Amino acid sequence: MQTSVQKMQSSPRGETATSILQAADELFGEQGLEGVSVRDVAERAGVNKALVFYYFASKEKLFEAVLERYYQAHRAALESAFNTDAPLAQKLHSLVDAYLDFIEQHRRYPSLVQSLVVGSPAFHPFIQRNLEPMFRFTEAALVGLSPEKGHLAARHFFLDISAAVINTFTWAPVLAPMWGGDPLAPAALAERRQHLHWLADALLAGLTRSPG
Amino acid sequence: MQTSVQKMQSSPRGETATSILQAADELFGEQGLEGVSVRDVAERAGVNKALVFYYFASKEKLFEAVLERYYQAHRAALESAFNTDAPLAQKLHSLVDAYLDFIEQHRRYPSLVQSLVVGSPAFHPFIQRNLEPMFRFTEAALVGLSPEKGHLAARHFFLDISAAVINTFTWAPVLAPMWGGDPLAPAALAERRQHLHWLADALLAGLTRSPG
Amino acid sequence: MQTSVQKMQSSPRGETATSILQAADELFGEQGLEGVSVRDVAERAGVNKALVFYYFASKEKLFEAVLERYYQAHRAALESAFNTDAPLAQKLHSLVDAYLDFIEQHRRYPSLVQSLVVGSPAFHPFIQRNLEPMFRFTEAALVGLSPEKGHLAARHFFLDISAAVINTFTWAPVLAPMWGGDPLAPAALAERRQHLHWLADALLAGLTRSPG
Amino acid sequence: MQTSVQKMQSSPRGETATSILQAADELFGEQGLEGVSVRDVAERAGVNKALVFYYFASKEKLFEAVLERYYQAHRAALESAFNTDAPLAQKLHSLVDAYLDFIEQHRRYPSLVQSLVVGSPAFHPFIQRNLEPMFRFTEAALVGLSPEKGHLAARHFFLDISAAVINTFTWAPVLAPMWGGDPLAPAALAERRQHLHWLADALLAGLTRSPG
DNA sequence: GATGAATGAGTATTCATTCAT
DNA sequence: TATGAATGAATACTCATTCAT
């Protein structure tokens, strides 16, 4: 249950390294890889610029370290939601909730990843390693209902639901006008959560009617 | 019906301006606003760097010119799909098809927009102007079925479907492994299109059963 | 008496050339040689940029043309003040008045010249040709009173008075606070004129007492 | 008495910063703010261009650093000349000598300031802060003799004398022909100094005779 | 561990000038 | 005469990275 990034310490420890990682987390999440300079990170962390290189070798490696923390936390979150004996429908709802809970705790995560998918092919293998286990959970959850191939294969649902969850956050700033306010405000998020559960049910209902 | 960007020349004409616009289109679509330098654009277009400024005044204005072409084409595509007398279900399918057709013809468009949403707040008003009319189409299509407020309001479906369509393209490079090949290959895209139609029907079915 | 620059047409005539010259006059006077671009001049004149080069060959030559107009007008102004049969004191007052009248009509002139003295050695010969005849007037006016050599030679008085007149205008913007308002406002200028006459008298009085 | 700029190191220390400041001092004094590029400064100082920004943040800030050193030295020079118990006439002569001594030691100072007055309005407040205390000295020296208002107010004499002193240096290069040699050669300067003392006396004599 | 100094390559943008039409 | 297009060099400034101490 303890999937918070703050509580996990990957590679380098020590106060200095941690404060750099924390600063990098905040800045990269807000402005992406290219929008942030090493100087920015060092200043926000309150350390000497050269120390960033001493601890993380390069800006890209620092970015990877930030991503890695999220990756582990994200995977752990979905894993624990999946590993229950609950029936299918309930398991799906747990996955949706786990996904939303994780992002609500780590709001910068979707933007961070999105900024890499478009623009930094070098990071694609990294993201693929990240995505795969989560896809396996979805696939396992739908086994029996969803065929292995064709337009009802699990991968389509994985994409539909991931997109519906993630874009809630990445698109939030531009959706504000048609939402009549911040789509990430607590009430709006609760409503969106309700909708996503409804969506999962609607997809399951459709799948059950269609020939699996 | 003539919504292809290549066929529309809004901004300045002349071979040179066109080749700059074309080069900018390609590069921005691949690497985003910050990943591309004016030097890159000029080199790809085979023109002097200063000419980019002669024709487009600034890098940001050039980016806007590229976006504007897409914006007009995109809007026109959805508009003509919506303006039919077909019944609701059929109208929704037309919208999905128009959306997909447009992106298939302009594959860089989703990445272009996505790179702005995450990372360039300055362009958010521009995107909002773009999004709004398309949201109005969806809203109008669902009127009667979908309540004005709450978790079944039209805006949720607009987000679900837009995300499912757009992320098909923006996420394609990282989805390849779990797709067992390029998700944008013709066969894969045809399958995805079939799924998205199924998705629209499933959502409609759910809405019809739920209290609107 | 007709010493206005606007009425004199040196080298190239024609409406286009005149409007360029006029625009250059205004802009160079406000922002100096380096603060103004050929594009600025062309825009203010409402003509094509290339025409500036067609008529004036280069930016520097255009600047020279502007200066040349002032030079002729300035010389004519002092000349007519000097060529009277009035006694010495009155002749000096006429020179001071002519100097002030000219600058009041062509307020940009002192700044124009000052910006060249500091910063553009290439223009020094030009300015020297400009200065020399005016020095000769002063020298001739003081002949008999002022020795040819030493600390009471005419050149010192030429420098004193020129500086007192010209710096009134060039320093005006930074003198404003200690003047309690714009030193170039009509009332302030009238007072300064009165002072400069007093100064000329004081110098003459001193010279008369000292051994010439 | 220690008013030499070389001996004062206000801004950053260290050999590199000093050599940049020195190079900037020379170049700005010769060619003004706009006539000098950061590349020029770095080359003359023999350091990497980026180091100029490392130490001084921007070209304008570098210029300010150069000016600030002069400003402090200038003010100190006049202050110590004024703070004596000598009678009025002698105090005025001390001020003239202090002014001349200072500029002889810092010959680039007048050009530096002059280039700002004409052409860089952004620096006017800086110059005004510089000018004001010196004006106060003059005003205090003439108190009783010179009325507060009108054409004999202290500000006019401040302008007359400042102009006569400063223009000696700023105009030197174009005055050479009528001086029959360099006006800044030792003998010529000594003669000019003698004249300026004579000028101060002549103004005092005039003031004494006129109604104060 | 930590720091200040140093660097080379890169960024967007401007400019005076030229030239074909 | 007049113009739109084209160009090469320059400008202030930033950045990731290295290194001696």
Burial (Cβ within 10 Å: 0-12, 13-18, ≥19) of residue B14 = exposed
Ordered alpha helix ranges (H), A106-143:
108-117, 124-142
CB pairs under 8 A between C and D: 146
Looking at the structure of chain A, the number of domains it has is 1
**Cα–Cα distance, D29 to D112 (Å, whole number):** 5
Q: Is A114 or A12 the better-scoring residue by pLDDT?
A: A114
H or E segment and range at residue A158: helix A154-170
- What would the pLDDT profile of A37-86 be if each residue is shown by its tens digit? 999 999 999 999 999 999 999 999 999 999 998 888 888 888 888 888 88
Q: Would you say residue B14 lies in a domain?
A: no
- What would the pLDDT profile of B180-189 be if each residue is shown by its tens digit? 999 999 999 9
pTM here?
0.87
Closest CA to D178 of C102, C164, C127: C127
**Cα–Cα distance, D205 to D199 (Å, whole number):** 10
Please give the residue of chain B at the shortest CA–CA distance from A27. B119
Has residue D166 got a pLDDT over 70?
yes
The pLDDT of residue A211: 57
Q: Would you say residue C45 lies in a domain?
A: no
Confidence of residue D184 (pLDDT cuts 50, 70, 90): very high
**Cα–Cα distance, D49 to D13 (Å, whole number):** 18
The pLDDT of residue B211: 57
Across A151-162, b (16+ Cβ under 10 Å) vs e yields bbbbbbbbbbbb
The pLDDT of residue D13: 59
The pLDDT of residue B134: 85
What is the domain range of residue A83?
Answer: 59-209
Has residue D83 got a pLDDT over 60?
yes
A117 Cβ partners below 8 Å, 6+ apart? A124, A127, B114, B170, B171, B173, B174
Q: Is C112 or B170 the better-scoring residue by pLDDT?
A: B170
The pLDDT of residue B12: 47
The pLDDT of residue A3: 45
The pLDDT of residue A7: 45
- List the single range of A20-34, D176-190, D194-208 with lowest mean pLDDT: A20-34
Average pLDDT over residues D30-52: 95
Please give the residue of chain D at the shortest CA–CA distance from C153. D195
- What would the pLDDT profile of B86-108 be if each residue is shown by its tens digit? 888 888 899 999 999 999 999 99
CB contact under 8 A, C131 and D166: no
Neighbours of chain A (3+ CB pairs under 8 A): B
The pLDDT of residue D140: 87
CATH code for position B85: 1.10.357.10
CB contact under 8 A, A160 and B162: no
Protein CA D68 to sugar C1' F10 (Å):
29
Q: What percent of chain B has a predicted confidence (pLDDT) above 90?
A: 62
The pLDDT of residue B14: 79
Q: Would you say residue C2 lies in a domain?
A: no
Is the distance from CB of B160 to CB of A199 less than 8 angstroms?
Answer: yes
Has residue A8 got a pLDDT over 60?
no
List all nucleotides in chain F with at least one atom under 7 A from a protein Cβ: 1-20
What secondary structure, in 3-state letters, does D78-103 show?
Answer: HHHHHCCCCCHHHHHHHHHHHHHHHH
Q: Would you say residue C3 lies in a domain?
A: no
Protein CA D206 to sugar C1' E15 (Å):
53
Q: Would you say residue B33 lies in a domain?
A: no
Neighbours of chain B (3+ CB pairs under 8 A): A
Q: Would you say residue B91 lies in a domain?
A: yes
Cβ contacts (< 8 Å) between B151 and chain A: which residues?
Answer: 191-192, 194-195, 198
Q: Would you say residue A15 lies in a domain?
A: no
The pLDDT of residue B4: 44
Average pLDDT over residues B116-128: 86
Low pLDDT (below 70) residues in chain C: 1-13, 211-212
Has residue D12 got a pLDDT over 90?
no
Find which nucleotide's C1' atom is closest to B56's CA: E13
CB contact under 8 A, A159 and B168: yes
Closest CA to B4 of B100, B102, B110, B139: B102
Q: Is B140 or B210 the better-scoring residue by pLDDT?
A: B140
Protein CA C50 to sugar C1' E20 (Å):
13
- Residue nearest E9, CA–C1′ metric: D50
Is the distance from CB of D162 to CB of C167 less than 8 angstroms?
Answer: yes
Angstrom CA distances, D147 to D82, D142, D150, D207, D210, stand at 20, 9, 7, 10, 11
Please give the residue of chain A at the shortest CA–CA distance from B159. A164
Find which nucleotide's C1' atom is closest to B51's CA: F6
Average pLDDT over residues B127-147: 89
The pLDDT of residue C13: 61
CB atoms within 10 A of CB D152: 22
The pLDDT of residue C32: 84
The pLDDT of residue C211: 57
CB contact under 8 A, C162 and D167: yes
Q: Would you say residue C77 lies in a domain?
A: yes
